[in-house]
């Protein structure tokens, strides 16, 4: 029996299986001690917060029946150490930080495998390796070899304040195909975060698991494993969270592979080998991605002399994978070779502004976007609940595959929102324009010469939900301006309509809890601003002022900025054009000095400008990402709850012609930020040398491995 398994599994899986087979029951668990894995629960352990949520758990029992295959397991949970090496965990942290976006609960951000596939496919190999190691460990631990499909996998970061009450992981009807859960901890409690214990409510020990790097806690998703996560006290607790299903059709692999196929970075021919995992889902016809392809080619052609030919990666092995690898793209001069362009190409398209605000019932407004005075959800949000914002997890707010009911509403524009959120998470400031800036802008793009920007870098960037045309006829501009080297001031100009206001609030990182729109009076304001102005709905010229919601702004809770450092904090917002003039007079030399230390960003910015209008790609990928990660989130606070904003030390001098470029910068910044020693922009040059090497290596790996994957379980390709 074992040998036949070994034959099917191949050496890697066998090794894993042999190692973990001995760990299937608790007495033989590879636990280092009970210091951080508590076997017995005490009465006091169930604190009031958890008691509150017991009622919740009780209501889920209906849908928490064990799967028949799992009903007689000798053990329903396990804890294993050293399932992943610290090095791989470290790399996963890197992947997570480079790709994460808003997560499924307040203070949680995540990077699902779909996110990674879409935005940075070259980062997939470590994630897939890790995912497969977890799969193997879980299958071995529960004696389910080759029986499990990965239903969801994603990297999660639980920041300070993140908490999850008692629940089990199949507590909703739509989670019923979720049969086993596994959480692999990527970092260690006490080192990189405080508190955040995982706890089982009752049943066999261990009842309390302290996260530590490489440790896996795995359990059946049914009601026998009611568990919780205690509140994280500081830092960020990072996990690779996976759910498994006994139903092959629940596998997320086909979608992931489809995502890759849609990604112009990895254009796979329609002639896929059988069993590749696509099932009946058709690939997009070549024509559907042709414009994108052309756009890239054009872009590459402009910026360079050569476009690599399509590469037949593996002609001999069942199927041709035509991989378009672009070379000589604009950033090559700065970042070196190896970075395919397409992951930076994000969709644009028609959609209303999809700002996401605090939980509540959607309210219809006259426009397409509702914004409630109490911070309730927009109409888009109602359909979006559980979209890309709810990536994984359980407790009803999480995971699953919810439908996006209104594509036209929650679709592309939502991605715009995600991008904004991502930028904000990274501590980057942005300028959003809706309908063009007054200072000579067109098409939502601020146009000043590079030279002028160098001298007057107060217009820091531009990004906007890619739906500005439908936002209304009025102009709306959000400018995040750097008032002094230590602080950022945000001003919103125009914003006459509800939609514009919401877009503005989103774009400026004004925390929704600090912004309000009075639907009765039509007044919108940003409450946290040092200076308040209101804007009359329908009055394009009206201004409202805000600050950048804690991102290097006046009210930064993390010690940056503040009135003392930022004399401009108390000033009223001004028209963007005015601002430029004044800065020129008052701060010119200061800026010059600051900029000279940021040449790399100037260069980046200049080149970003060149990508203006480069088009939008990956639409299908993004759509699919939303669907695959989504479910019925019942806690919309998760979506826009401000994340910790440990961004770049001086997130300035970013000028983005559009969301795609903004994401590029964000991703780039994420890379650099998360190489621990890079703390300031000044040090980016070093990162610039490392990033391409890493990305290049990983991309090569991906391109090499992809043709051999029949599913994302790479080891299965042995036979």
Q: Of Fe ion, ligand AKG, none, which one does residue 239 interact with (CB within 5 to 8 Å by kind)? A: ligand AKG
Instruction: Note whether 389 and 370 are within 8 A (CB).
Output: no
Report d(CA 455, CA 584) in Å as an integer.
Answer: 7
Q: Length of the chain, please? A: 719
Structure tokens at 358: 């605090």
| Residue where the block lists tokens 């300031």 | 680
**Min dist. Cβ of residue 242 to Fe ion (A):** 12
78 binds ligand AKG (CB under 6 A): no
Our CB check for Fe ion shows the closer of 169 and 197 to be 169
**Min dist. Cβ of residue 358 to ligand AKG (A):** 21
User: DSSP of 583-635, one letter per residue?
Assistant: HHHHHHHHHHHHHHTTHHHHHHHHHHHHTTT-----HHHHHHHHHHH----S-
Among 110, 171, 365, 394, indicate the residue that binds Fe ion (CB under 5 A). Answer: 394
Among 140, 229, 355, 380, indicate the residue that binds ligand AKG (CB under 6 A). Answer: 229
Our CB check for Fe ion shows the closer of 187 and 394 to be 394
Build a one-symbol-per-residue string for 144-173: x at contacts with ligand AKG by CB under 6 A, - elsewhere. Answer: --------------------x----x----
Our CB check for Fe ion shows the closer of 162 and 357 to be 162
Q: Of ligand AKG, Fe ion, none, which one does residue 183 interact with (CB within 5 to 8 Å by kind)? A: ligand AKG
169 binds Fe ion (CB under 5 A): yes
Contacts of 40 (CB under 8 A, 6+ apart): 205, 207
Backbone angles phi, psi at 151, to 5 degrees: -90, -30
Among 67, 129, 199, 227, indicate the residue that binds ligand AKG (CB under 6 A). Answer: 227
Among 153, 170, 239, 519, indicate the residue that binds ligand AKG (CB under 6 A). Answer: 239
268 binds ligand AKG (CB under 6 A): no
580 binds ligand AKG (CB under 6 A): no
The alpha helices in 182-310, defined as continuous H runs, are 253-262, 286-303
Our CB check for ligand AKG shows the closer of 63 and 373 to be 63
**CA distances, 328 to each of 94, 264, 294 (Å):** 26, 16, 15
Dihedral angle of Cα 373, 374, 375, 381, to the nearest 10 degrees = -90
- The closest alpha carbon to 154, from 261, 44, 243, belongs to 243
**Min dist. Cβ of residue 130 to Fe ion (A):** 19
Q: What are the residues facing 181 on neighbouring strands?
A: 219, 243
Report d(CA 346, CA 625) in Å as an integer.
Answer: 12
* Start-to-end C-alpha separation, the chain: 18
**Min dist. Cβ of residue 162 to ligand AKG (A):** 9
Q: What are the residues facing 216 on neighbouring strands?
A: 80, 184
Our CB check for ligand AKG shows the closer of 169 and 609 to be 169
Interacting stretch for Fe ion, rule CB under 5 A, among 2-10, 167-175, 197-205, 211-219? Answer: 167-175
**Residues of span 178-197 touching ligand AKG by CB under 6 A:** 183
**Residues of span 385-444 touching ligand AKG by CB under 6 A:** 393-395, 398
Build a one-symbol-per-residue string for 193-222: x at contacts with ligand AKG by CB under 6 A, - elsewhere. Answer: -----x------------------------
Our CB check for ligand AKG shows the closer of 365 and 394 to be 394
- The closest alpha carbon to 353, from 462, 559, 502, 246, belongs to 502
**Min dist. Cβ of residue 394 to Fe ion (A):** 4
Contacts of 159 (CB under 8 A, 6+ apart): 107, 108, 109, 232, 235, 236, 237, 643, 644
Residues that bind Fe ion (CB under 5 A): 169, 394
Q: Which residues in this chain contact ligand AKG in the complex, by CB under 6 A?
A: 164, 169, 183, 198, 227, 229, 239, 241, 393-395, 398
């Amino acid at each position: 029996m074992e040998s036949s398994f070994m034959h099917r599994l191949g050496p890697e899986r066998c090794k894993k299986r042999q190692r973990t087979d001995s760990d299937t029951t608790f007495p033989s668990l590879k636990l280092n001690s009970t210091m951080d894995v508590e076997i017995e629960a005490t009465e006091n352990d169930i604190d009031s917060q958890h008691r509150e949520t017991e009622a919740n758990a009780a209501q889920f029992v209906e849908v928490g029946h064990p799967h028949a295959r799992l009903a007689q397991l000798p053990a329903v949970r396990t804890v294993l150490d050293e399932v992943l090496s610290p090095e791989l965990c470290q790399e996963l942290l890197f992947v997570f930080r480079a790709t994460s976006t808003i997560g499924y609960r307040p203070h949680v951000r995540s990077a699902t495998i779909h996110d990674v596939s879409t935005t940075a496919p070259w980062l997939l190999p470590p994630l897939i390796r890790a995912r497969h190691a977890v799969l193997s460990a879980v299958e071995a631990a529960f004696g389910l070899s080759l029986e499990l499909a990965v239903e969801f996998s994603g990297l999660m970061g639980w920041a300070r304040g993140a908490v999850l009450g008692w629940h089990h992981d199949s507590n909703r009807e739509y989670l019923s195909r979720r049969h086993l859960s596994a959480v692999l901890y990527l970092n260690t409690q006490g080192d990189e975060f405080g508190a955040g214990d995982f706890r089982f409510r009752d049943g066999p020990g261990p009842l309390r698991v302290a996260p530590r790097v490489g440790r896996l806690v795995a359990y059946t998703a049914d009601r026998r494993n009611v568990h919780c996560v205690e509140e994280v006290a500081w830092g960020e607790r990072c996990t690779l969270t996976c759910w498994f299903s006994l139903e092959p059709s629940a596998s997320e692999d086909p979608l992931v592979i489809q995502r890759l196929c849609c990604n112009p970075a990895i254009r796979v021919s329609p002639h896929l080998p059988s069993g590749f995992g696509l099932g009946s889902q058709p690939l997009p016809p070549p024509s559907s991605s042709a414009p994108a392809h052309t756009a890239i080619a054009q872009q590459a052609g402009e910026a360079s002399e050569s476009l690599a030919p399509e590469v037949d990666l593996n002609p001999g092995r069942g199927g041709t994978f035509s991989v378009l690898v672009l070379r000589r793209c604009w950033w090559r001069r700065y970042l070196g070779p190896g970075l395919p362009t397409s992951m930076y190409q994000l969709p644009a398209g028609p959609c209303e502004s999809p700002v996401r605000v605090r939980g509540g019932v959607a309210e219809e407004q006259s426009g397409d976007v509702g914004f409630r005075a109490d911070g309730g959800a927009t109409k888009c949000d109602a359909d979006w609940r559980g979209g890309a914002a709810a990536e994984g997890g359980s407790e009803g707010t999480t995971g699953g595959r919810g439908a996006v009911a209104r594509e036209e509403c929650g679709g592309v524009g939502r991605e715009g929102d995600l991008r904004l959120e991502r930028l904000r998470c990274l501590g980057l400031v942005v300028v959003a324009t809706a309908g063009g800036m007054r200072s000579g802008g067109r098409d939502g793009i601020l146009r000043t010469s590079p030279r002028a920007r160098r001298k007057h870098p107060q217009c820091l960037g531009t990004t906007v939900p890619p739906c500005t045309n439908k936002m209304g006829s009025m102009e709306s501009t959000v400018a995040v301006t750097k008032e002094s080297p230590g602080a950022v001031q945000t001003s919103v100009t125009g914003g006459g309509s509800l939609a514009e206001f919401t877009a503005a609030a989103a774009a400026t990182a004004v925390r929704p809890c600090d912004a309000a729109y009075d639907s009765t009076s039509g007044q919108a304001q940003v409450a946290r601003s040092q200076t308040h102005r209101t804007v009359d709905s329908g009055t394009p010229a009206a201004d409202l002022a805000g600050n950048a919601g804690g991102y290097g702004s006046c009210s930064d809770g993390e010690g940056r900025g503040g009135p003392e450092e930022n004399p401009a904090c108390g000033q009223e917002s001004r028209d963007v054009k005015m601002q430029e003039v004044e800065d020129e007079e008052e701060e010119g030399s200061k800026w010059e000095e600051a900029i000279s230390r940021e040449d790399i960003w100037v260069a980046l910015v200049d080149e970003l400008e060149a990508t203006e209008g480069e088009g939008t790609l990956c639409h299908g990928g993004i759509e699919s990402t939303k669907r695959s990660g989504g479910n019925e989130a019942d806690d919309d606070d998760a979506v826009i709850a401000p994340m910790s904003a440990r961004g770049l030390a001086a997130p300035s001098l970013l000028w983005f012609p559009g969301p795609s470029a903004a994401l590029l910068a964000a991703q780039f910044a994420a890379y650099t930020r998360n190489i621990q020693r890079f703390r300031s922009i000044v040090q980016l040059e070093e990162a610039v040398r490392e990033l391409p090497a890493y990305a290049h290596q990983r991309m090569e790996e991906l391109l090499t491995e992809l043709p051999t994957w029949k599913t994302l379980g790479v080891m299965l390709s042995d036979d």
